[in-house]
Structure 1
Amino acid sequence: MPKADANWALPTAVSIVREGNTNLDEYMQLPETRQFFPEMTLKVGEHSYDYFPVGGAFLALPQVFLLLQINGTKEVIRHSSEASKLVASSWMAISALLIFFGFRRKFGDSAAILAALLFSFATPALSSGSRAMWQQSASLLLNCVFIFFLTKSTFKKYELILLGFLLGFSVWVRPSTVVVSGPIFLYLIFLLRKGIVWVILPAIFSLGLYILYNLTLFGTFTPSYFNSHIGKIFQFSGFGEGLAGILFSPGRGIFVWSPFFLFGILGILRIRQDREKNLSILFLYCIITHIFVIASFHTWWGGHSIGPRLLAELSPFFLWFSIQGFLSLSDRGWRDRLLRNAWVIACIFSAIIHIRASVDPGPMYWNQVGNEKERSWDWKDPQFMSGDWSIKLLY
C-alpha cells in the first residue's frame, strides 16, 4: 500500500475522468478508501480534495481512462494500490524509452541501451518511481521528457510548444520542480533566442491555468501544499546532516543505493572536453540546486519511503554523467581496468538492491518501526537488507 503522499492520486484521476472535477467527495466514505489517510485530504467548503499536488493525476488520465474501460470504477478504486503501480510503472517504461532515444543522440546505441537498462533496474526509478503515483514519479517522467527534447539538435515548432507547456506544467506536479524547469527555461532563452516565444507562450498558458485553479479552489495563487511546505525548506541548522544523509546514509543515500552514480564524478570532471558542455553544465546545475533544496528540507529522509525517494527525479541527470564517466575509461592501464571492474560490480549491486526493494515487502516494512531519520544512519539495519530476502514476484 502506498503511503500518504500517493494514496489519493489515483482516485483524483478517476474523479477527473468520471466527474470532470478533482474533488474526492464520492470516494471519501468508501470501505476501500478508509485506509487512505483521510487526514491527507483538504476540506474546501463542502468538498474534499487531495492535499498533495494534482499534476500527477492529470498525467495519469490516459492510463486511468483505459483502466476504467476495462475494469470499471468500482474495481479500479477497490484495487487502487495496484492501479497506481500500473500507472507509475507505465510512466517509468515511457521514461526508459525517452532515456534511450535521448542518450542515443549523445552516446550512441550501445551506451543508450546500457543507460536505459540501468535506469530501469538500478535506480530509484524502479524501487520508488514505479511503485506508486508519487510526486517524484511524475517529476521523473517530466525530467526524462526534458532530456529527450534537449538532446535534439533542432526543434520543430510543435516540439517547442509542447516543451514550453510541460515546463509550466511541472509546478502542477511538484512545486520544487522549479529548480529544474527554471534553469531549463533560461537555457532555452539563450539557445533559441527568437524562437523562445514558442516556449514562453505555452508556459505562460500552463502557469496561468495553475494560478486560476488555485484561486478558484483555495483563494490563493499557490496550493495549500506549497504554502505549508515553503517554510520547511532552507532549514540550515540541519543542512550538513541532510546533505550527508541524502547522499551517503544507508537508508536514504543515493550513492549507497546506486553506487554506480559515483562514476558521474568522472563525467563531471570531463565537462570541459564535452562537446555538449552547456547541456552538461545545465544538468549539473539541476542536480546541485535540487540537492541543496532537499538537504535543507526539515524532513530530508522523506518519511515513509524506499531509499532515496526525494532524489528519484534526479536519476536521469546522475545517469547522464555516470555514462560519460564510464565511457571515459579505456581498456588499457591498470587504473582504468580496475575502475571498469568496479563499475560492473556497482551496477550489479545497484540492480540487486532496487529489484529486491520493488518486489519484496521487507524494505517497505522497515518503515513501520518509525524513527526513520535516526534509523537511516543505522548500518546494522539498512533498509535495503530488511526482510527475509525471498523474492515475491506477485507483490
Structure 2
Amino acid sequence: HYVSDYPVGAALIALPFYVPSVVCGVSPSSRVFAELEKVSAATIVALSALLIYLAAARVTTNWMAMLLTLVYAFGTTSLSVSSQALWQHGPAQLALAAAIYCLVRAREDRRWAGYAGLPLAFEVITRPADALIAAPLGLYVLIYYRREIWTFITAAMPPLLFQLWYSAIYFGSPLRIQFLTEPTSVGSQTVAPSGLWTTSLANGLAVAMLSPGRGLLFYSPIFILSVAGLVLAWRKNGDMLLRYLGVGAILTILLIAKWHKTSGGESFGPRLLADLTPIMAFALFPLADSIRERRALAVAFAVLCAWSITANASGAFVGYRGWNQWALNDADKRLWLWGDNPVVDPFRSTFDSTRIALGHRATSRNSPDLLDGGLVVLNSPPHDAAPGARVHVSVRATNIGKAVWLGGRSADERGIVSLRWEWKRDGKVVGNGEASRELHLNVFPGDSTDLEASAFAPDAPGRYDLGISLAAEVSNQTSRTIGAPLAVSVTVAPSTASSGSAP
C-alpha cells in the first residue's frame, strides 16, 4: 500500500468527494481523480467561507459580515493556494472556521463551546503546527466555559485517537512527527530537530510578513486592518475570543519565521500562513463602525481589498512555477525583488507582449536567426566535488542579438529560451543527458538575466566538464543554440568508502 507521509486530516475530509468514483469502479488512471482534487479543495474552502460568514453575522452587521467573507474568499491564499489543490491548508481553514463558529454560537448557547473540541482537534491532525492556534482556544474554553470543558475534551478525542492509531499502525510510533524527514530530489535526508529552526527571527519575520515574494501583508495588505482589529480586542470591553485568536496568530507567525524553509518551497505567496486567514478575516469585524463613519478608512479598505484580490487572483489564474524555480535558488535576494515577483510578473509580461506587438519586434519565435547571447559565470564554481554532490553554477545571460528572448509563460513552446546544461567527459555526454530551465520572463536586446545551472556530480571519479548553454525551441524537438556555450571543469573525487577509509 501507499501510505501518506503527511498527516491524514486533509485526505479524510476529501474522502466523500472520491468515494462515488471508487465505488463505481472508475479507473485509478482516469482524469476524474485529478479533477476531483480541484473540486474537493474548492468546495472545502467555499464551506469555510460560509462558516466565516455565519460566525461574523452573529457579531457584526450583515454588510460587514459579507464584506469580510469576500476578503477571506478572494483576497487571501484561500483563492490562490487552498482552493487550487489538496494542500493541508484548506481543510485546516475549514476546521478553524468551524471552531470559530462554535465559539461564537456559545455566547448564546454554552453547549457549543464543547462542540468546538471536534474541529480544533481535526485542525491539529490536519496540520500539527496549528496546535499553536488550538491551544489558546482550548484555554479560552477552560476559562470562560469551564462546565463545558469535558464535552470539549470528549469531542476532541476521536480525531486525535485516529491519528495516533494511524501513526502506530503504519509507522510504528503513535507520536511520529512527519516533518523530521525532509524530502530531496535524490531520496530522503534526515534533518535533526535543531536544524529545523535555523532561520533568524528577524529575517524570517521580514520574509513571512513583508517580502514581495512571500510576505503576508504584500499579498493580502487588507490584513493590516485585521491587525488593527486584533489590537482593538485588547481595549476595555474588547472581544475576548479575538484576544485568544490573536495569540494563536502571533505564535504561528513566530513559528513560521523560525522555520528553516520560510519560503514554503514551490508555492504561491504566504502559503505557510494560509491557516491564519480565518482569524485575520474575522478580525476585521471590530472596524465596522469606523469604516462606516470615516471616509478615509473606507477608501483605504477598498484600495487594500482591491490589491489583495488582484494579487491572489494572479496566483489562482497565472502560472508561477517558473518564477519559483528561478527565485528559490537565491531566495535571500530574489524574494525581495519588488519588480520581479508573482504579482508583478503577469502585468510585466502583458506590458512586454504589448511592446513586442506594437513595435513589431523580432523574437526568438519569429526570428531565430537574429538570436545571439553571452554567458558569464557569476559565482566561483567548485573545482572538486564528491560523487552525487550538487554542483551549482550561477551565470548571467546577456541578450546581444536583435531578437527578444521569450520566457516560458506562452502556451506555445516554440521560441521559448532556456538555459541548458549537461555533464561531458572527453567530449562525450555522460549521466542522464541534458537538463534545462526556461526563462520566466522575456529578455529584450541589451538586457541581462541571472540564471542557475544545478546538477548532481557523476558517480564515477574523474575530470568532467559541465557544459552550459542557451537555446531556443525552434520546433518540436528542435532547438537553436544561442551564443557560445560555457564549460565549467569539475573533478569528482573518489568516495571515502571506495578509497578504503571509514565512511
TM-score, normalization by structure 2 = 0.62
Distance verdict in 2 for CA 1:121–1:222, change over 3 Å: same
Q: 1:206 to 1:52 in 2, by over 3 A?
A: closer
Deviation, 1:51, is: 1.6
What's the counterpart of residue 347 of structure 1?
305
The answer on 1:183 being equivalent to 2:142 is no
Aligned residue number for residue 3 of structure 1 = none
Is the 2:232–2:238 Cα contact (8 Å) retained in structure 1?
no
Residue 249 of structure 1 deviates from its aligned partner by 0.3
Q: Within the alignment, does 1:101 sit opposite 2:101 as a pair?
A: no
In the alignment, is residue 258 of structure 1 matched against residue 258 of structure 2? no
User: CA 1:237 to 1:101, structure 2 compared with 1: closer, same or farther past 3 Å?
Assistant: closer
- Structure 2 residue corresponding to 1:373, chosen from 320, 331, 336: 331
Segments of structure 2 that go 5 or more residues without pairing to the other structure are: 183-191, 354-408, 411-503
CA gap 1:329/1:170 in 2 versus in 1, 3 angstroms: closer
Tell me the TM-score normalised to structure 1 length.
0.78
Instruction: Give the distance between the partners of 2:127 and 2:295, measured in 1 at CA.
Output: 42
Q: CA deviation at 1:276?
A: 5.3
Say if 2:148 is the partner of 1:195.
yes
**Alpha-carbon offset, residue 75 of structure 1:** 5.6
- The structure 1 residue matched to 2:12, chosen from 58, 68, 76, is 58
Alignment equivalent of 2:211, drawn from 238, 249, 252? 249
- The alignment covers a number of residue pairs equal to 339
Partner of 1:133: 86
Aligned equivalents of 1:384, 1:67: Cα separation in 2? 37
Please give the alpha-carbon distance, in whole angstroms, between the structure 2 residues aligned to 1:304 and 1:193: 44
CA distance in 1, matches of 2:142, 2:124: 19
Give the letter for the 1:288 counterpart: I
Higher RCO (CA < 8 A, seq sep 6+): 1
Say whether 1:115 aligns with 2:68: yes
From 210, 213, 220, the equivalent of 2:173 is: 220
Larger radius of gyration: 2
Query: 2:197 maps to what in 1?
Result: 235
Give structure 1 stretches of 5+ with no counterpart: 1-22, 25-48
1:301 maps to 263
Counterpart of 1:29? none
1:340-361 superposed Cα distances (whole Å, 9 cap, x missing partner): 2121111111111111220122
Contact 1:233 1:297 in 2 (8 A): no
Q: CA deviation at 1:316?
A: 1.4
Residues 201-243 of structure 1: CA deviation (Å, up to 9, x unaligned): 2323432232222112111122351444782677265221111
Moved more, 249-258 or 197-206: 197-206
Q: Map 1:8-157; keep pairs closer than 5 Å.
A: 23-24=1-2, 49-68=3-22, 72-74=26-28, 76=30, 78-152=31-105, 153-155=107-109
CA separation in 1, counterparts of 2:103 and 2:87? 25
- Partners of 2:239 and 2:196 lie apart in 1 by 30
Query: Residues 14-71 of structure 1: CA distance to partner in whole angstroms, max 9, x if unpaired?
Result: xxxxxxxxx42xxxxxxxxxxxxxxxxxxxxxxxx22222110001111222454678
Deviation at 1:184? 1.2
The change in CA–CA distance for 1:226 and 1:155 in structure 2 (over 3 A counts) is farther
Match for residue 357 of structure 1? 315
- For 1:351, the aligned partner's letter is I
CA contact (8 A) 1:135 1:173 kept: yes
- Post-superposition CA distance 1:99-129 (Å, at most 9, x none): 1100000112111111111111111100011
Q: Determine the structure 2 residue equivalent to 1:170.
A: 123
Partner of 2:344: 385
Structure having the higher helix fraction is: 1
Deviates more, 1:376-385 or 1:224-233: 224-233
- Using the TM superposition, give the Cα deviation of residue 275 of structure 1 relative to its aligned residue in structure 2, in angstroms: 4.8
Counterpart residue number, 1:12: none
